[in-house]
Structure 1
Amino acid sequence: MLQMNIYEEFSHWLDDILENNDMPEETKAFCFNLYEESDEDHIYGAQLIAAGEYDPEDKEGEWACDEVWSCEENIFTVETSDEDDTGWAHAQELIKEMVEEYLKNGKYADILSSAEAVAIGFVDGDLEIIS
């Protein structure tokens, strides 16, 4: 179950990004790139990018490399309490749930929904299409 306090922080972060940026006309898809910020502290970051290409057959997400816009260093971070190697999976699931909630109820969900796809994934891994 999604914790509302972290979702509210995520929602405000995404509102600020989407409110203050006009997305390029060539935007075809959005991707939430995930990063491991600190392995020993189990901290993971999410960055939003807009891609100028989208290929639904490309499961590895090479299309997301055609970046036409990025929130750059404005990263949303989450911390997991996992002491094993599954912290990254929990972080991805948590951020995915927050993106799904934002797509349903977010202030600027229409911006994300106007694209052909919204995806999430670690930069060195496969992407998961959310919408």
Structure 2
Amino acid sequence: MENYRLFSNWLNQILEQDIPVGIKAFNYNLYEGSDDTYYIQLIGSDEFDENDSDWACTDYFNSGEDICYIKRTEDIQHWEQGLNHITKLVERYLKEGEYANILKSALELDL
């Protein structure tokens, strides 16, 4: 899956940087971009509340202009399909990604 390679390379570049201490949760912002693409941005928040969906609005860390661009294809043309596809990319990264431990360990800090 070419999109997984693109996504994992992008995420590896971000996660090999110095990530601030104190991140409790990560979130992927997904945008419908220009040029028939989806834009993905990574944010890290220093707060998390599973009962409050606004927790992701606290932008303690973000990938800024370092955006992952996923080209729309016929099978991921509609945003629901794009969301599902990108969710699968994230899930795969959490299983086999080089820095998946950083993403998984965020909430463990608060236990």
User: Could you list the runs of 4 or more consecutive aligned residues of structure 1 that deviate by over 6 angstroms after TM superposition?
Assistant: none
Correspondence for 2:107: 116
| CA distance in 1: counterparts of 2:3 and 2:38, whole angstroms | 14
Aligned residues with identical type, % of pairs: 43
| 1:50 maps to 2:49 | no
| CA distance in 1: counterparts of 2:22 and 2:30, whole angstroms | 23
Correspondence for 1:36: 32
Gaps of 5+ in 1: 118-131
15, 18, 32: which one aligns with 1:18: 15
Correspondence for 1:69: 61
More helix by share: 2
Gaps of 5+ in 2: none
State the superposition RMSD in angstroms.
Answer: 1.6
| 1:104 maps to 2:95 | yes
Q: Are the aligned partners of 1:80 and 1:90 in contact in 2 as well (CA < 8 Å)?
A: no
Q: Deviations over 1:74-109 (max 9, x none)?
A: 111112235xxx611111111110110000000000
Using structure 1 for the length normalisation, give the TM-score.
Answer: 0.75
The AA in structure 2 aligned to 1:54 is F
The AA in structure 2 aligned to 1:102 is Y
Question: For this pair of structures, how many residues does the alignment match?
Answer: 106
| CA distance in 2: counterparts of 1:15 and 1:47, whole angstroms | 13
The AA in structure 1 aligned to 2:6 is E
